[in-house]
Amino acid sequence: MSTVTLDEMLKALSHPVRRDILHWLKQPELYFADQEPPLSLGVCAGKIERKTGLSQSTVSAHLATLQRAGLVHSKKVGQWHFFCRNDAQIQQLLAHLSQDL
């Protein structure tokens, strides 16, 4: 894991809203049960936005930060963007921290 990415990941994690989002995405069936498209696709950006209570542009920026850090990924289906945790990356980060911190 490159230092730049480690830096980006820890910076991304240093904001409570972004940690909340990651937490919600861990068990989407618990937090986004009302989503129409199957949660296996991920969670739609608008759902996350409404859950935070912040503005659309702000949440879009948080999601972009998480994505640049490699902590989530998204796929576009039609006009929707579905977000998922990148659990492999998160596990790698945890392993790295356990090892080197």
Partner DNA sequence: TGCATATATCGTTATATCGCGATATAAACA
Partner DNA sequence: TGTTTATATCGCGATATAACGATATATGCA
Per CB under 8 A, residues contacting its own copies are 3, 7, 10-11, 13-14, 16, 19, 22-23, 90, 94, 97-98, 100-101
* Residue 11 binds to DNA (criterion: CB under 7 A): yes
Q: Which is nearer to DNA, 21 or 93 (CB)?
A: 21
Partner that binds at residue 27, options its own copies, DNA, none, CB closer than 5 to 8 Å by kind? none
* Residue 94 binds to DNA (criterion: CB under 7 A): no
Which helix (H) or strand (E) is 76 found in, with range?
strand 72-77
Which helix (H) or strand (E) is 44 found in, with range?
strand 43-44
- Distances in Å between the alpha carbon of 57 and those of 25, 36, 45, 63? 19, 23, 11, 10
For the chain, give the number of residues: 101
Closest CA to 59 of 94, 98, 9, 24: 24
Locus of tokens 């930060």: 65
Q: Which is nearer to DNA, 40 or 99 (CB)?
A: 40
* Residue 62 binds to DNA (criterion: CB under 7 A): yes
Q: Which residues bind DNA (CB under 7 A)?
A: 11, 14-15, 17, 44-46, 49, 54-58, 60-65, 74, 78-81
